[in-house]
Structure 1
């Protein structure tokens, strides 16, 4: 008996392959889901570890930087007040007061350059003279160093023998004390208490089982969980990027995540090494639980599959071929019914019953008239019967009615069944339900003209409606209100897209309630809406409508537990529909008026006026004329403004400047047309013209042996980001035989912020080719030192906006001094542009600015004028008591 049962199961498994494969697929799916879930969980846990460590490290970095800045500020204050303190007693008192207010310090000492102690907050007199030179030598060697963080030393402070025996150490922080002339006369030595920072790190160490270390840029460990020095990998990564994380000892039990941050103001690197095993503990518990659940599910699926195999095998054995054929017809996806010659229903399949809602017992021996929806004419059915009675098949679309009264759309095929004599005996009708497809087509048509989120007409629908309005012959006024939410991006960024979608939906509901059916409201995209008012009586109607819209939008908005208010800016444009203004222009005018409302404070509305129209026409005019100018051989021209060495007074080159004079004699400022060229992409053609013209001129000078030094050429960020500029420029240089040392490429500081790979590639190729790189308008952008370092530039150009403040604005002077100091520390030369007065020149000479450019020396000159200027031997007088002539 058992043997027969086993044979039956074996045959059933062979016959019911679909069930077996389905079960296997389900089991495989469970396994894949398990693996995917585990891998996602692992990745999520590791990502959470990176995110958590990055946040903690950022907070620790902020604490460390603030502590060191506090120490630096305190020592700077003491240094400035030393000349006023007088004797040693007062100095000691000040040092002691400072020590009491600085918990991160153990001692503050003032020492001479010969290693003798002037004053000490601890009252200790150095017995070993070598202790007094912890940081003196670096300060003597480099006069520009503001402070020095020395190597960790034994003891709690210099000369502490007891602390040295107990294993304590401190980190010396040395601050120079200079005379009025800037000469180093003594040194303030602050003994930083590493335990203070260890205590700050301890909570993170205990919570995450982490190792936190503070290194100098040279890799020396100043303090931390252990004394391990910074690895070469860490130092290399810091050079590439000032912050980040990487994994160490991957695949081993000691695997860990090492996160790091280098401070931009201090030569410090803070690192945190957290154990992967600790971070993955929760994930491993979930892994075990999921594995158990999946095993249970797999066992359950296997059991169910076995039951189905047995049942299906028994059914197949009992029914036979006839039953299988009948089942196949009844199981057909399409509805099928068979009628006699008179059209009375003889048989239907299950799909027909499901489609129509009728049971076979309800419709047997009835004609299909009960399905008639009344949407077809008698002539339609007359032609149908004529076709099938002639023995031909008929295919078409019918609108039937469900038993519940719901309308159905079907594609029906009626085929006559003929007897041996060729006479019609029966008809077979096959219905394919296309109701869902029809609804989908209708929905697609709806979505093509409507916004899926709000249900409002979209931009396409709105523009079509405006075009229809403008086709009307009646001279009535049409008005458009262009609405833009003022704080939508802020809400999306802070609360998520769900909050933004909710805001858009509620704003739509409020505007629909306000406008009713009198106006057409549409969502143009993002947070932009538009209202079509047609016809419009006067400006007062539009003003009142705009005020109501602003008030409605400003109603407080609740989301979750938060309540906030969002305002909007509204632009209004109106025109007689037969006045010549088309729909696109009217919408564009409303858009411009909206931007005017935003620029004038938001939460208000503005009408489009002639000034805006003039501005728009001016932009279009300049765009068109610029195309002509680039192709012309005389509208665009070059000027050369000399650059001189501020120490020798010798002319070392010039900056090439682009000028544009139209056919009508109008001079267009670069400030006006360069921005338009960048927006429209015309800057690529303008840049090509500039390169070819400049290199042609330089080649001419080289052929005639005219000494012109190094010529600087400005390059737009758009050129760097959209064009293979380096290849084009270097190719032209080879064609005109221009040596790389004769060319300097100037890029604006904001270009450094671009994350485009093409920008980086272009700059890298130019630098590798030997072309000089200069950063123009330095100080007006937002670049960091890491960008300057990665670019490896040669010059920093001090912007004219700072130069004109010399003698008038101390802040501008400080920025110039800081820029020159930064350039020197990075081994970069400095060029000051816009130097127009002797006072500015003297200031820049005293600060050792390398090169001068400005009207004090020469205005931008034509090529012929620049040649004359060079040949005249003009030079900058370095005497500070002389007056320099300005070349006109």
Structure 2
């Protein structure tokens, strides 16, 4: 610009971000001013006008949008680049609409990208400054045929913007080289023609009539034009047209100065698309859905129509991502979106709500829809196998259904209630359909209350462990105990594990709580050993999330080192569904755990669909017979057969066997006869607090088992 160092103002309430921008651009030769919010930024600008401003959007006192509006009142030609959080595209579009010049997402991965944007904006500011000089001086250019005219004419010839001069009838008298470069027309092809040679037909005739009305009144017109190049390609121009007057003030010509903004328009269109559509599936996103529903409900009210809205969630998406990777999961989501679009044609609406959730609004009807039939069609369609990268995948869905207007008269209520119904479907066992009822809201509120309290339970010391003894039928001795998590609140007392453990798993809190359980159980075992309770093994349950997402072997090794527990005295209980995936990843995890010297137990065995051949290759030391089979084996032949098969399988594979849930002498006798080595259940003891467990052990004698069996 003038040869002086350029001055940059950075506005952000995070000092670290301001500092990184300041340091980078100081190295680029800029003078730097800083402000923590829009109010400070305006004060700096009033004292020392910068050449460019880089501002955050979300700030206290005065945010970026309000700052841009205030700045436009002070200086409408000061370039502003906005920085906003990733994914908040609506904020960026609003900033551009208010007058921002460009946009970059936070966190800024590479400040060199910001440097390019700053450079581009400064160049544009220079051109705009030139354009204003043109408007101020072109009347003098036409009126004065002098050396000064020749200088300005040279500037016009070399301008980075297209320049057109016409007579008062609109006949072209002059175009500069940039016009030729932009449009593809040579000067001799357009001189004598009207600017309408560039018309694209995109803008209506009324648009051009208004343009001519303004300039014939002697006013300047500014706006955007969609024109057509000589090769037929459409392009967008930012244009200003001003009258040129002679010394008597009579209009003799018009001058138009135009900047090709096609790339900027394309970028704005891209931002608009990203704000309204899901980039992975191409479906409308949540933002678009909400706008669509607003208009849709207005139409339904006006025409007295009814509608159904269905929200579905893919049941096993987390498991698929953990097993095959997120890239595979993304491909599956595309296949799901394609199936939904095919299933629901024109007249219906399909959107990706968030994550693994989709919303379907079938065609409206003049009478209440058969919601059950529609929902069942959707559920069955989702049960068909997908083929992804040559792999067959089953991705069932839980579907929540609401009707309009019965289940909500606003967009917010309709979507909220659909989500409530969807979670009820998951609660009922997944791959099912649930219809909204007002009672479901009470359940959701209770669930949210529990989730809130669980977030604070660990820090408040509300969790504890109870221990259930495991008895050897061969020796009658206590060989170990299972550590079981308990939660006692100040208001409700003990909460059932069946209620709170699923919430821990769904929220991911199970990772932190599970690690606490591991530490607590190991430390307690060492404490008992120091007090004389030796040769006892503690069993700890591991959740699927712990097994799949955390470095479990590293955590276990750290806990063993911290507590000093002999690895042979720690048993981790893994569920059947967690590890029965024949993959190298699963095998590596199991082998890394057994290399620590600990024992692995397969919990709830018999409830899944294990492959005997695969089971034989796993480094598993123990099978636990699920209590549901133990409870029914005396009365049901099928359950007795399952128990017999599991025991025979364990013997054949050289594994220990533990029967849990043993509550009667009849069950004890049966398991003894079938040579199940270890018993756990209420027949001997319920899960006990640590102090009570120590007392139980001190009072226990091996002869107790024989006495029970003789009764």
Alpha-carbon distance between aligned partners in 1 of 2:709 and 2:505, rounded to the nearest angstrom: 43
State how far apart, in whole Å, the 2-side matches of 1:687 and 1:555 are.
37
CA contact (8 A) 2:219 2:242 kept: no
- Specify the alignment match of 1:528 in structure 2: 358
Q: Could you tell me how far 1:746 is from its partner in structure 2?
A: 1.1
The 3-state SS of whatever aligns with 1:712 is: strand
Of residues 398, 415, 419 in structure 2, which corresponds to 1:587? 415
Corresponding residue to 2:401 among 546, 571, 576 = 571
* Structure 1 partner of 2:643: 816
Structure 2 distance, partners of 1:530, 1:555, is: 15
Distance 1:496 1:680 in 2: 22
Task: Give, in angstroms, the shift of residue 847 of structure 1.
Answer: 1.7
Give the deviation of 1:742 after TM superposition: 2.0
* Other-structure match for 1:614: 442
Deviations 1:712-738 (A, max 9, x none): 111112112222233233323222221
How far residue 752 of structure 1 moved from its aligned partner, in angstroms, is 0.7
Of the candidates 339, 346, 369, which is equivalent to residue 509 of structure 1? Answer: 346
* Cα 1:428/1:672, change in 2 over 3 Å: same
Q: Which residue is equivalent to 2:211?
A: 376
- From 779, 784, 788, give the equivalent of 2:615: 788
Match of 1:127 in 2: none
Q: Which deviates more, 829-838 or 600-609?
A: 600-609
| In 2: Cα distance, 1:758 partner to 1:599 partner | 30
* SS, match of residue 688 in structure 1: helix
**Contact 1:749–1:775 (Cα < 8 Å) also in 2:** yes
Change beyond 3 A, Cα 1:506–1:865: closer
Match of 1:707 among 534, 541, 548: 534
Of 219, 225, 231, the match for 1:399: 225
Query: Residues 576 and 846 from structure 1, CA distance in 2 versus in 1: closer, same or farther, beyond 3 angstroms?
Result: closer
- Using the TM superposition, give the Cα deviation of residue 627 of structure 1 relative to its aligned residue in structure 2, in angstroms: 2.1
SS of the aligned residue for 1:373 comes to: helix
Q: Secondary structure at the match of 1:776?
A: strand
Q: Deviation of residue 641 (structure 1)?
A: 1.3
Specify whether residues 443 and 375 from structure 1 end up closer, same or farther in structure 2 by C-alpha distance, changes over 3 A only: farther
TM-score by length of 2: 0.57
Distance 1:651 1:554, change over 3 A: closer
Q: Deviations over 1:813-855 (max 9, x none)?
A: 2222222222222221111111122222222112211111112
CA distance in 2: counterparts of 1:721 and 1:603, whole angstroms: 23
C-alpha displacement of 1:399: 2.4
Q: Report deviation, 1:863.
A: 2.1
Aligned equivalent of 2:604, options 777, 781, 794 = 777
Following superposition, the deviation at residue 677 of structure 1 comes to 0.5
Which residue number in structure 2 is paired with residue 448 of structure 1?
Answer: 275
Rate the CA distance shift 1:470–1:726 in 2: closer, same or farther, 3 A.
farther
Note the C-alpha offset of 1:664: 1.6
CA contact (8 A) 1:480 1:587 kept: no
Q: Distance in 2 between matches of 1:567 and 1:758?
A: 26
Structure 2 counterpart of 1:724: 551
Change (3 A) 1:813 1:435: same
> Does 1:738 find its partner at 2:565?
yes
| 625, 650, 656: which one aligns with 2:453 | 625
Partners of 1:658 and 1:551 in 2: CA distance: 39
**For the Cα contact (< 8 Å) 1:480–1:586, is it kept in 2?**
no
Instruction: Give the alignment partner of residue 626 of structure 2, picking from 793, 799, 805.
Output: 799
- Per-residue CA shift, 1:465-506, capped at 9, x if unaligned? 6689999xx9xx9998432589999xx99x997897376156
Would the aligned equivalents of 1:720 and 1:758 in 2 still touch at CA under 8 Å? no
**Offset of 1:682 from its aligned partner?**
0.6
Instruction: Describe the SS at the equivalent of 1:460.
Output: helix
Aligned with 1:816: secondary structure? helix
**Cα 1:728–1:426 shift into 2, 3 Å:** same
* 1:174-213 to 2 correspondences below 5 Å: none
- Higher Cα radius of gyration: 1
Say if 1:430 and 1:690 are closer, same or farther in 2 by CA, change over 3 A: same
1:864 CA displacement: 2.3
Alignment RMSD (CA, Å): 5.6
Residues 1:350 and 1:504: Cα distance change in structure 2 (over 3 Å) = farther
2:494 corresponds, among 667, 681, 692, to: 667
| CA deviation map 1:55-85 (0-9, x unaligned) | xxxxxxxxxxxxxxxxxxxxxxxxxxxxxxx
Residues 723-776 of structure 1: CA deviation (Å, up to 9, x unaligned): 223323332322222112222111111121358988655543331121111111
Q: Deviations over 1:195-228 (max 9, x none)?
A: xxxxxxxxxxxxxxxxxxxxxxxxxxxxxxxxxx
SS state at 1:782 partner: coil
Q: CA contact under 8 A between 2:347 and 2:362: conserved in structure 1?
A: no
Distance 1:567 1:681 in 2: 21
SS at match of 1:802: helix
Distance 1:721 1:582, change over 3 A: farther
SS in 1 for 2:457: helix
TM-score, normalised to structure 1, is 0.47
Distance 1:352 1:745 in 2: 76
Alignment of structure 1 residues 407-418 onto 2, 5 Å: 409-411=236-238
Alpha-carbon contact 2:668-2:709 (below 8 Å) kept? no
**695-704 or 460-469, which moves further after superposition?**
460-469
Counterpart CA distance in 2 for 1:446 and 1:714 is 47
Say if 2:241 and 2:254, in contact at 8 Å, map to a contact too: yes
